[in-house]
């Protein structure tokens, strides 16, 4: 629900960005570039534009704008991936910056460097405008709109960088770009009518820009709330040399059966291995000790792959605030082949009273033989399995 609200807000921000005070006054200039020879003057002195020509040029113009937005978006989402392990801090920082941008857009504070206009001079023959030139114009002009588009676009880029999935981050940039370029496309279809309408409602446009600032402040507050909510979990899972978190005093003697999907979305049921010894490992993407131990677990998997020992690992996406894509990329990058089961709700973690990471269980004959809190070396893990299998 919250994700959907953010998407809608970002789309509205894109539309509002179009009505910024440093863009609207220049719309006639942009349209004169894009219309080229399609611009005609009637007998009564009024100016009209050929819709087909103007629309084609406008389409390539907005593609140029979108290209520049996506270059920035890819850079920021890559930055968010780099700081993935400090996601709570990133949320707080991005939230504070977005609120600042919102305050700037509402006029409550002044930020001098955002009020400086960047101008790009280009000699263009309006009669020779073509789709390629329109694309280049869109790409170049998009970098000249920092005085007004800057706060809204920066907030979207910050929001994108706070997402663990690069796909979602780029989706946010796409939604913003769509909101921003749709008014341009409308101008391409109804150039004459739209320009006359904009001239009559200058005061309304100013209020619309301030409304966009209020929306930015709201987005910033949501990010800060999410960052604060994530902090206690990071603190609770404090790490030592052997593991992360505080081991639960609850004990379990009989394994709780479960069915979970692996990374290939194939369901794995624990009770299917009742005649075998099962090494069950619970780990977390936020725990570096867990990820180090996975190297030993991979060796175990290769060692016991054709024997009566089953190696299973489980990760809780909900607890880690991570995505399936992030886990898949990590496993693929490391070249691990052992089964990784996805516990999206954390229900299996709760059934086994897992509050520390890593945490492992050796199960045989429908009985938990031993619980192994913390990380062990490959030799220690193998010796423990051999002792209880």
pLDDT tens-digit map of 149-165: 555 666 666 666 655 55
Residues 80, 85, 91, CA angle at the centre, nearest 5°?
Answer: 55
Predicted confidence band at 263 (pLDDT cuts at 50, 70, 90)? Answer: very high
Predicted confidence band at 28 (pLDDT cuts at 50, 70, 90)? Answer: low
CB 192 within 8 A of CB 29: no
Digit-coded pLDDT (tens) for 171-208 = 777 888 788 778 777 776 776 666 566 666 666 656 66
Residues 354, 364, 286, CA angle at the centre, nearest 5°?
Answer: 25
Shared-domain flag, residues 72 and 220: yes
Mean pLDDT of 128-149: 67
- Boundary residue ending a domain (209, 236, 263): 236
Cis peptide before 358 (omega within 30 of 0): yes
CB neighbourhood size of 59 (10 A):
18
| Host domain of residue 302 | 244-388
Shared-domain flag, residues 277 and 213: no
Mean pLDDT of 206-217: 69
Q: What is the pLDDT of residue 209?
A: 64
Contacts of 287 (CB under 8 A, 6+ apart): 237, 239, 243, 244, 357, 358
CB 180 within 8 A of CB 17: yes
Using the predicted structure, report yes or no on whether residue 9 has a pLDDT greater than 50: yes
Number of domain units in the chain = 2
Q: What is the pLDDT of residue 237?
A: 45
Shared-domain flag, residues 127 and 262: no
Shared-domain flag, residues 150 and 292: no
- Boundary residue ending a domain (185, 204, 236): 236
Shared-domain flag, residues 80 and 138: yes
Using the predicted structure, report yes or no on whether residue 226 has a pLDDT greater than 90: no
Shared-domain flag, residues 96 and 161: yes
Shared-domain flag, residues 64 and 196: yes
Distance CA 331, CA 338 (A): 9
Shared-domain flag, residues 231 and 257: no
Q: Residue 23, SS3?
A: coil
Shared-domain flag, residues 206 and 338: no
Shared-domain flag, residues 179 and 287: no
For strands 277-283 and 359-364, give the pairing: antiparallel
For strands 244-245 and 359-364, give the pairing: unpaired
pTM: 0.44
- Boundary residue ending a domain (197, 218, 236): 236
CB 236 within 8 A of CB 284: no
Choose between 103 and 161: higher pLDDT.
103
Largest CA distance in the chain: 98
Q: What is the pLDDT of residue 318?
A: 78
CB 80 within 8 A of CB 169: yes
């Amino acid at each position: 629900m919250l994700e959907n609200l953010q998407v809608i807000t970002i789309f509205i921000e894109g539309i509002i960005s179009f009505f910024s005070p440093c863009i609207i006054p220049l719309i006639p200039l942009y349209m004169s570039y894009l219309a080229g020879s399609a611009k005609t003057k009637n007998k009564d002195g009024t100016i009209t534009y050929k819709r087909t020509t103007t629309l084609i040029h406008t389409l390539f113009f907005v593609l140029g704008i979108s290209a520049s937005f996506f270059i920035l978006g890819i850079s920021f989402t890559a930055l968010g991936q780099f700081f993935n392990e400090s996601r709570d801090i990133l949320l707080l920082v991005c939230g504070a910056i977005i609120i600042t941008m919102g305050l700037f857009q509402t006029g409550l504070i002044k930020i001098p460097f955002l009020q400086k206009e960047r101008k790009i001079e280009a000699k263009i023959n309006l009669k020779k405008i073509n789709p390629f030139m329109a694309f280049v114009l869109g790409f170049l002009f998009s970098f000249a709109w920092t005085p007004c588009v800057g706060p809204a676009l920066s907030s979207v880029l910050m929001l994108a960088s706070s997402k663990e999935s690069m796909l979602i981050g780029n989706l946010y940039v796409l939604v913003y770009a769509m909101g921003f370029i749709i008014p341009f496309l409308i101008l391409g279809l109804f150039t004459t009518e739209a320009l006359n309408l904009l001239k009559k409602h200058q005061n309304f446009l100013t209020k619309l820009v301030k409304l966009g600032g209020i929306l930015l402040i709201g987005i910033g507050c949501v990010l800060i709330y999410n960052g604060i909510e994530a902090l206690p979990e990071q603190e609770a899972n404090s790490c030592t040399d052997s593991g992360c978190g505080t081991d639960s005093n609850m004990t379990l003697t009989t394994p709780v059966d479960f069915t979970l999907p692996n990374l290939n979305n194939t369901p794995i049921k624990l009770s299917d291995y009742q005649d075998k010894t099962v090494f069950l490992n619970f780990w977390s993407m936020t725990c570096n000790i867990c990820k180090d131990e996975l190297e030993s677990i991979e060796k175990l998997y290769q060692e016991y792959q054709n024997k009566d020992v089953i190696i299973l690992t489980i990760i809780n996406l909900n607890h880690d605030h991570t995505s399936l894509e992030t886990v898949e990329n990590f496993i693929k990058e490391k070249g691990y082949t052992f089964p990784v089961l996805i516990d999206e709700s954390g229900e299996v973690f709760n059934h086994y009273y897992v509050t520390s990471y890593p945490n492992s269980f050796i199960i045989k004959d429908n009985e938990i033989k031993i619980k192994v809190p913390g990380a062990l070396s490959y030799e220690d893990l193998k010796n423990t399995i051999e002792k209880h299998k």
